[in-house]
């Protein structure tokens, strides 16, 4: 009884038609989260620099630290995040690990992002 009308919205201003239609075509929870996760990964200055550097060349962790200005430990931590998001791949050559972009999605996203910035 307490929640007899729980399915009725107490807000008056809703445009039912619009809401109904949007709801029917709405992005689902998982997709929204996956999308947010990629953008979240791209939403950090250090990672932006790492990815931008890798757009120019395959580089080892030391090199990445040098060009990004972050410590090697910080870079290593961030590279793990980029690996988990399947944004970079790596190959080991002795003691050294070389990182590179996994595909060209990053390039495309950067270009689109910069287009938004430059306006």
- Cβ of residue 106: shortest distance to DNA, in angstroms? 16
- Cβ of residue 14: shortest distance to DNA, in angstroms? 8
The beta-strand segments (E) located in the chain are 59-60, 88-93, 96-101
- Cβ of residue 84: shortest distance to a copy of itself, in angstroms? 13
Binding site for DNA (CB under 7 A): 11-13, 40, 43-47, 60-62, 70-74, 76-81, 90, 92, 94-97
Please report whether residue 45 would count as binding a copy of itself according to CB under 8 A.
Answer: yes
Residue among 64, 50, 54, 42 at smallest CA distance from 103? 54
DSSP assignments along 83-112, one per residue: HHTTSEEEEEETTEEEEEESSTHHHHHHHH
Q: Which of 4, 67, 74, 91 binds a copy of itself (CB under 8 A)?
A: 67
Distance separating alpha carbons of residues 27 and 40, to the nearest angstrom: 18
Please report whether residue 90 would count as binding a copy of itself according to CB under 8 A.
Answer: no
């Amino acid at each position: 009884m307490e929640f007899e009308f729980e399915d009725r919205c107490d807000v008056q201003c809703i445009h039912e038609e619009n809401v109904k239609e949007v709801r029917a075509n709405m992005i689902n929870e998982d997709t929204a989260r996956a999308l947010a996760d990629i953008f979240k990964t791209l939403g950090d200055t250090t990672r932006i620099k790492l990815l931008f550097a890798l757009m120019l060349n395959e580089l080892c962790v030391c090199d990445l630290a040098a060009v990004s200005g972050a410590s090697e430990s910080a870079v290593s931590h961030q590279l793990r995040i980029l690996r988990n998001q399947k944004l970079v791949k790596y190959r080991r050559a002795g003691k050294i690990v070389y990182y590179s972009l996994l595909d060209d999605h990053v390039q495309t996203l950067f270009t689109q992002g910069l287009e938004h910035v430059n306006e």
